[in-house]
């Protein structure tokens, strides 16, 4: 045990500090990263989120400097739901860092249908350096993170979509700079996106206004967590039921599907309830003139957003999609280190 306890671990903050030597980022990553997971936005401190954004900027500006930093690393992705952006940005991102990816299409049955998550975790950690999960149940991601001795990333669960929310606030930082000065509005379903955006907005110290229909509100545990973060960062959080109030004076207006994956059978019933929450030109006029339109995609044009708004000059939906690649590369570098991290104390196995 003693040798484990004395093993050096690099502070993830140090890992995410800007490099002093432009030409040699791998040296900065040569110590073992603390084994961590990204299950929720709450897994990152406000300072770590800003540090992650710094690393993301470097990866975006100078991708060639990071080519090969994850050489030899292997990532597995189990997806219980379909994906375009998340799958491809993780695969392309890992490839551009020199690592490899295995994708398991888990859409035909739940991940734990054949054997227990405990047993799956203790298999995977013997072969693989990092696990990415897209699940129905959030507890599946939490349990995998508890059992597996390698990092676990939530690539969307029913409760959160942290990678998307991080890409979104990085996109806002590119446009506005200081995130503590912006008013961010979300209107629509109190779903996984709304939860991660609320937590991320609280962490960066923004003014956040969220409006949902009464019966489709936010998870109270997430709201409590966000309020605790906001006490620390001085963020201002408003939870509303009137979309017009939420959007008034906003710098950015965000919406998402009215019926998320797994709720498609409720689409008709929801369409009537959510109609006043549609982001159209009339609603956008209440926001600041420069206000950005944001959506995680896939969008349901004519439902939660009109063509006029999503195709407008103020729409940044494809910037958000692009930034999924850059933010996830930063997350991978942060979690895997790129150096001796793969032989960290949590992993009792030697890799081939």
164 is catalytic: yes
Active-site hit among 163, 251, 296, 326? 296
Active-site hit among 324, 326, 328, 342? 324
Residue found by looking up tokens 């093993």 in the block = 7
Between 164 and 233, CB nearer to ligand CP:
164
- Kindly report the number of other CB atoms within 10 A of residue 217's CB atom: 17
Among 10, 40, 74, 83, binds ligand CP (CB under 6 A): 83
Active-site hit among 42, 87, 138, 161? 161
Name residues contacting ligand NVA, limited to 260-299 (CB under 6 A).
260-261, 296
Residue 262 zone, left/alpha/beta (φ > 0; ψ -120 to 50; rest) = left
First to last CA, the chain: 24
Q: Phi, psi (5° rounding) for residue 265?
A: -70, -15
Active-site hit among 138, 256, 320, 326? 256
Contact 335, 21 (CB under 8 A): no
Q: Which residue is nearest to ligand NVA (CB)?
A: 260
Name residues contacting ligand CP, limited to 277-306 (CB under 6 A).
296-297
Element at 199 (helix H, strand E)? helix 192-203
Contact 190, 220 (CB under 8 A): no
296 is catalytic: yes
3-state secondary structure of 77: strand
Q: CA-based diameter of the chain, in Å?
A: 65
Contacting range for ligand NVA; rule: CB under 6 A; set: 178-186, 188-196, 227-235, 236-244? 188-196
74 is catalytic: no
311 is catalytic: no
Among 37, 91, 256, 304, binds ligand NVA (CB under 6 A): 256
Name residues contacting ligand CP, limited to 112-141 (CB under 6 A).
none
> Would you name the residues annotated as active-site residues?
134, 161, 164, 256, 296, 324
């Amino acid at each position: 045990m003693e040798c484990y306890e004395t093993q050096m671990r690099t502070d993830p903050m140090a890992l995410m500090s800007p490099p002093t030597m432009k030409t040699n980022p791998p040296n900065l990553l040569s110590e073992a990263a603390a084994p961590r997971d990204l299950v929720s936005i709450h897994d990152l401190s406000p300072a770590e989120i800003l540090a992650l954004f710094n690393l993301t900027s470097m990866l975006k500006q100078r991708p060639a400097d990071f080519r090969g930093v994850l050489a030899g690393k292997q990532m597995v992705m189990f997806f219980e739901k379909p994906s375009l952006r998340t799958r491809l940005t993780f695969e392309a991102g890992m490839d551009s860092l020199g690592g490899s990816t295995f994708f398991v299409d888990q859409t035909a049955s739940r991940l734990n249908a054949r054997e227990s998550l405990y047993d799956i975790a203790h298999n995977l950690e013997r072969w693989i350096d990092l696990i990415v999960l897209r699940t129905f149940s959030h507890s599946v991601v939490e349990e995998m993170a508890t059992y597996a001795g390698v990092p676990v990333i939530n690539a969307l669960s029913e409760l959160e979509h942290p990678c998307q929310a991080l890409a979104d606030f990085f996109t806002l930082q590119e446009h506005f700079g200081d995130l503590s000065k912006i008013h961010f509005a979300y209107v629509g379903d109190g779903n996984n996106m709304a939860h991660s955006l609320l937590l991320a907005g609280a962490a960066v110290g923004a003014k956040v206004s969220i409006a949902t229909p009464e019966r489709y509100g936010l998870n109270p545990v997430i709201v409590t967590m966000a309020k605790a973060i906001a006490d620390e960062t001085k963020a201002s959080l408003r939870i509303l039921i009137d979309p017009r109030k939420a959007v008034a004076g906003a710098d950015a207006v965000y919406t998402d599907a009215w019926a998320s994956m797994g709720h498609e059978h409720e689409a008709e019933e929801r369409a009537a309830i959510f109609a006043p929450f549609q982001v159209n030109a009339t609603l956008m006029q209440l926001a600041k003139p420069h206000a950005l339109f944001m959506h995680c995609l896939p969008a349901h044009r004519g439902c939660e957003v009109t063509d006029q708004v999503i195709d407008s000059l103020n729409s940044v939906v494809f910037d958000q999609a692009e930034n999924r690649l850059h933010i996830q590369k930063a997350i991978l570098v942060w979690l895997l280190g790129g150096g001796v991290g793969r032989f960290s104390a949590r992993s009792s196995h030697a890799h081939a």
